[in-house]
Amino acid sequence: MNSTIPSQTTLPWLWRLPALVYRSGALIISLLLIGLIVLLSGASPIEVIGRMLVGAVSTPDQIGRVVATLSTLLLCAAGLVYTFNAGLYNLGVEGQVTFGAIATTFVLRLLYPEEATASLLPPPLTIALGILAGALGGVLWGLLAGALHVYGRISEIFAGLGLNFAATGVAIYLIFGPWKRPGVASLSGTQPFDESLWLGTFGQTEATPVGLGLGLLALLITIVVMRNTYFGLRLRAVGKNQYAAHVLGVPARQQLLSAFFICGLFAGLAGAIQVVGVFHRLIPNISSNLGFLGLLVVMLVNFDPLWVLPVALFFSALNIGSLQLPLSLGLESSLAGVIQGLLVLFALLGRGLAQRYAAS
Amino acid sequence: MGLFACATAGFGLRVKVELQHIHKRFGPVHANDDVSLTVEAGTIHGLLGENGAGKSTLVKILSGFITRDSGVILLDGRPAHIRSPADALRYGIGMLHQDPLDFPPLTVVENFMAGSPSTPPILNPRAAEREFRRWCARFNFDIDPHAQVGDLTVGERQQLEIVRLLANGVGTLILDEPTTGISASQKTLLFQTLRRLADEGKSIIFVSHKLEDVEALCDRVTVMRRGQVAGELDLRPLHAGAQQASSHHPEIAARIVELMFGRALAMPTKPPTRRDEVVLSIEGLVLRSDRLEIRVDQLSLHRGEVVGIAGLEGSGQQLFLTACAGLEPPAAGSIHIAGHNLTHRPYADFLRAGVCYVPADRLREGLIAGLTIQEHVALRASGRHFFIDRAEVRAEAERAIAAFNIRGRPDTYVERLSGGNQQRTQLALLPAPLSVLVMEHPTRGLDIESTLWVWQQLIARCQQGTAILFASSDLDEIVQYSDRVIVFSGGRVSPAIPVAELDVELLGQMIGGRF
């Protein structure tokens, strides 16, 4: 009767492993799982990985597409570094990209009306104004989410998702309504812009120096800001403990809104590049879901901008390489998404387990 | 019992509850250290003690919310295997939580039906409503069955919970701080109901830190202190005859205070540092939270003065301190700092005026887990430049570490520091000069050496002209270091009393709500 009941909360010693074991263990498990899924779909994992990587770099054209994807992805990821470090899950990044693209399209159409034969201003200036408008559009959509979150006390996740739908809705309305192609409106988007308004590319590829430059510049600025400035430090303080940061004198609201502002700015630039550099028109899914992919990249690197470039490059290569799979192996190209999702999911799991159980 | 068939078949209505040698540790904290408690059937048993004394842990073990490390629970002499709230309910043990565990978006009847161990797969709301009305009629509760629970008052939600638990066949009812946030008439009704349930043979455990409530209601009281049972008293003499209970038995009240706080008070040790100039003055301040309303008619703090706030935790001290620091806007009244009216000014203005707040919950409110000591130092210096001068910040952090004797390096994460070193870090981050320092439990969880050191630093601040306003649950600390003392009791606030005029009995009376 006087038997003592053992505690259920103490962990078996077996679980007390170094954090690194959890992190690398999670990576290994995710790779095994990916292999298993490939096997189940009837292919060899080694071959699939090989094809994807070869597919990504086989021709200059393919490399160009990887670089084009990377440029947009870097802009989105750099912006998301700010919101993640401020403790925000800015799922609204997609909408910010889309609205940026809409704003860019608006300005380009304004300066180069459909019936005109040339841009009203010199084409480079038109493009620059278009990109600037994209940035402002992204900022507007970002601040809208920020205001809903900070002043309306709505979860930034729901605010962002709602605004994503709204932005897509606006895009589709414009494509089928006021901006529809002469003749037939279609999901393939608005009438392509005159070639004078296309961004210059590396050779005959899709990659544009301006896009890549903006992506790399955004990332570089982000690294410097997060590591070396008071602004970055305050942002992290707010993200880790908003109340304590407030008590210590950090203006939390201002920091949160700044994070939304910057993320919207970069996402808007991404949208602008998608319009003037990649699609040369507005299409319904103008973001190519690269905003969501940016979320995965930044989560995978634990919000540290220093590691964004290699991971973003890898993910871009997967995205483009996987497009070869249906042709060469008869597999779905959505395998890239599965691989990316699993990697991130298990990275988060490993981090969570390490935080919870690892021996300090 | 109709819809809610009695789930306690096999257990008589009269249940004697025994907890024997209960132990529970949370990390280094021994929350329950060999605690034994016996509650006779048909009695109301008070469980009294400060916050952190271990009383909540004990009743949560009994109600299955926490599993014990060791010890035995006996119901009518038979061991009970309680590992979850559902287990406890099967044994007829139900707990009424301080914040009712109900579903605010649902209606009263829906809540009444939820959580019954014998709910049939298809609900019968009409039968449930009839049953609910019967229960309410029995206890004179007046609740609209179709109201939304979120719209009810705390007292009504309590009544709903009591009825729900009883309908589920509860024979042992645990109430955690039930008198906080309810109206006087609701309290009277609650006490009548509990008395009636006890007379019917149910065992009631009444957890509280309010002396007056325990005295008015309970048959016996067990006082807990630092995880252990400090003593047990029979309170029935209080109820025999007289209505005005404790006035006839001051010795029982004094004995309870003694059990709660220990016998002799320490001697005042603070050197005189008070100057003539008033630095903080409060007029007609009214503060409201969802549970409390506090009024402070007049309080002036002089430069160099220390005012300690005594009282059981949750009596409104935190609300008052955060208001003085500019973190909570008052409902009425004014706060002047050094002659400037800062009422309803933003917190940044308070900071600029030299007011600083040091919260008790160091890692949740005072410091930022995940940032290092030097990052905290940089954060305090933030705003002057855009780029961080790493070398300078590091040097400043090293100076602070040396001056405040912090066992850590500039790049040590604050959550890795011990409690004492976290407190030293908080003090190191305080700007100088400082007009008013507002502190909550300045030495909670610190060893004696750190405690003495912290107060040396604080008194040095006073000598430079800082006024300190602090709350503590350690009466010794309050008497040793304060010039004047204020007592909070259930939202009521005493005038400030010079420390020389205090003794343990007077303090105990005031903490119990008599002033």
Put simply, whether B350 touches A (Cβ < 8 Å) is no
Contact assessment for residue B358 and residue B437, using Cβ atoms and an 8 Å cutoff: yes
Best to test chain A binding among B78, B368, B380 (most A CBs inside 10 Å): B368
The pLDDT, as a whole number, for residue B238 is 79
Looking at the DSSP bridge assignments, the partners of residue B205 are B45, B174
C-alpha distances (whole Å) from B70 to each of A8, B19, B36, B56, B61 are 11, 11, 12, 17, 11
Q: Answer whether residue A7 shows pLDDT above 60.
A: no
Put simply, whether A113 touches B (Cβ < 8 Å) is no
Question: pLDDT tens digits, residue range A64-82?
Answer: 999 999 999 999 999 999 9
The pLDDT, as a whole number, for residue B3 is 37
Q: How confident is the model at residue B4 (pLDDT cuts 50, 70, 90)?
A: very low
The pLDDT, as a whole number, for residue B179 is 83
Average pLDDT over residues A192-216: 91
Total domains in chain A come to: 1
Average pLDDT over residues B120-129: 82
In a domain, A78, yes or no: yes
Q: Minimum mean pLDDT among A30-39, A52-61, A284-293, B5-14: which range?
A: B5-14
Total number of residues shown for chain B: 515
> If you search the block for the tokens 């703090």, which residue do you land on?
B301
Q: Minimum mean pLDDT among A250-254, B129-133, B266-270, B455-459: which range?
A: B266-270
Q: Which residue has the higher pLDDT, A216 or B11?
A: A216
Ordered by where they begin, the domains of chain B are 17-261 (3.40.50.300), 264-354+431-515 (3.40.50.300), 370-430 (no CATH)
The pLDDT, as a whole number, for residue A52 is 82
The whole-chain average pLDDT of chain A stands at 89
Q: Answer whether residue B350 shows pLDDT above 70.
A: yes
Q: Answer whether residue B12 shows pLDDT above 50.
A: no
Question: pLDDT tens digits, residue range A295-325?
Answer: 999 998 989 999 999 999 999 998 898 887 8
In a domain, A323, yes or no: no
| Alpha carbon of A156: minimum distance to chain B alpha carbons (Å) | 22
Q: Answer whether residue B45 shows pLDDT above 50.
A: yes
Residues with Cβ within 8 Å of residue B112, at least 6 apart in sequence: B128, B131, B132, B145, B160, B163, B164, B167
Contact assessment for residue B178 and residue B216, using Cβ atoms and an 8 Å cutoff: no
Q: How confident is the model at residue B307 (pLDDT cuts 50, 70, 90)?
A: very high
The pLDDT, as a whole number, for residue B268 is 75
Best to test chain B binding among A234, A248, A303, A304 (most B CBs inside 10 Å): A248
| Chain A residue closest in CA terms to B384 | A230
In a domain, A154, yes or no: yes
3-state secondary structure chain A: CCCCCCCCCCCCHHHCCCHHHHHHHHHHHHHHHHHHHHHHCCCCHHHHHHHHHHHHHCCHHHHHHHHHHHHHHHHHHHHHHHHHHCCCCCCCHHHHHHHHHHHHHHHHHHHCCCCCCCCCCCHHHHHHHHHHHHHHHHHHHHHHHHHHHHCCCCCHHHHHHHHHHHHHHHHHHHHHCCCCCCCCCCCCCCCCCCHHHCCCCCCCCCCCHHHHHHHHHHHHHHHHHHHHEHHHHHHHHHHHCHHHHHHCCCCHHHHHHHHHHHHHHHHHHHHHHHHHHHHCCCCCCCCCCHHHHHHHHHHHCCCCHHHHHHHHHHHHHHHHHHHHHHHHCCCCCCHHHHHHHHHHHHHHHHHHHHHHHCCC
| Alpha carbon of B78: minimum distance to chain A alpha carbons (Å) | 9
B contacts of A230 (beta carbons < 8 Å)? 378-379, 381-383, 385-388
A146 exposure class (CB count in 10 Å sphere: 0-12, 13-18, 19+): buried
Q: Minimum mean pLDDT among B52-66, B105-119, B258-272: which range?
A: B258-272
In a domain, A220, yes or no: yes
The whole-chain average pLDDT of chain B stands at 86
Put simply, whether A254 touches B (Cβ < 8 Å) is no
Q: How confident is the model at residue B261 (pLDDT cuts 50, 70, 90)?
A: confident
Average pLDDT over residues A182-206: 85
In a domain, A351, yes or no: no
Euclidean distance between CA atoms B216 and B252, whole angstroms:
12
| Alpha carbon of A113: minimum distance to chain B alpha carbons (Å) | 44
The two three-digit tokens of residue A206, written as one number: 């899709």
Put simply, whether A11 touches B (Cβ < 8 Å) is no
The pLDDT, as a whole number, for residue B206 is 95
| Alpha carbon of A149: minimum distance to chain B alpha carbons (Å) | 20
Average pLDDT over residues B193-214: 89
- Determine the distance from the C-alpha atom of residue A173 to the mean position of all C-alpha atoms in its chain, rounded to a whole number: 24
Please enumerate, as own/partner, the contacts of A330-333 that have beta carbons within 8 Å and a separation of 24 or more: A331/A38, A331/A41, A331/A43, A331/A48, A332/A41
- ω before B433 within 30° of 0 (cis)? yes
Q: Answer whether residue A170 shows pLDDT above 90.
A: yes
A contacts of B25 (beta carbons < 8 Å)? 7
Percent of chain B exceeding pLDDT 70 equals 93
Q: Answer whether residue B25 shows pLDDT above 50.
A: yes
Range of the domain at A125: 69-308
The pLDDT, as a whole number, for residue B330 is 93
| ipTM of the complex, rounded to two decimals | 0.85
Put simply, whether B361 touches A (Cβ < 8 Å) is no
Contact assessment for residue A54 and residue A318, using Cβ atoms and an 8 Å cutoff: no
Euclidean distance between CA atoms B296 and B208, whole angstroms:
24
Euclidean distance between CA atoms B295 and B366, whole angstroms:
26
The two three-digit tokens of residue B501, written as one number: 């005029």
Exposure string for A191-207, b = 16+ CB within 10 A, e = fewer: eebbeebbbebeeebbb
Q: Answer whether residue B455 shows pLDDT above 60.
A: yes
The pLDDT, as a whole number, for residue A16 is 63
User: Which amino acid, A35?
Assistant: G
The pLDDT, as a whole number, for residue B250 is 67
Average pLDDT over residues A44-60: 84
Best to test chain B binding among A233, A235, A304 (most B CBs inside 10 Å): A233
The pLDDT, as a whole number, for residue A111 is 93
Put simply, whether A117 touches B (Cβ < 8 Å) is no
Q: How confident is the model at residue B246 (pLDDT cuts 50, 70, 90)?
A: very low
In a domain, A85, yes or no: yes
Measure CB to CB from residue A7 to each of B67, B348, B375 and give the nearest one.
B67
Number of neighbours of residue A337 by Cβ within 10 angstroms: 17
Residues with Cβ within 8 Å of residue B487, at least 6 apart in sequence: B309, B310, B311, B493, B494, B497, B507, B510, B511, B515
Q: Answer whether residue B9 shows pLDDT above 60.
A: no
Euclidean distance between CA atoms B172 and B197, whole angstroms:
10
In a domain, A124, yes or no: yes
Q: How confident is the model at residue B490 (pLDDT cuts 50, 70, 90)?
A: confident
Q: Minimum mean pLDDT among A169-178, B240-249, B252-261: which range?
A: B240-249
The pLDDT, as a whole number, for residue A8 is 39
> If you search the block for the tokens 């029995």, which residue do you land on?
B138
Contact assessment for residue A235 and residue A262, using Cβ atoms and an 8 Å cutoff: no
> If you search the block for the tokens 């602090």, which residue do you land on?
B470
In a domain, A26, yes or no: no
**Cα–Cα nearest to A336, from A302, A264, A299, A288:** A288
Number of neighbours of residue A77 by Cβ within 10 angstroms: 34
Average pLDDT over residues A312-341: 84
Q: Which residue has the higher pLDDT, A329 or B275?
A: B275
Euclidean distance between CA atoms B140 and B157, whole angstroms:
14
Is the C-alpha dihedral spanning A259, A263, A268, A273 positive or negative?
positive
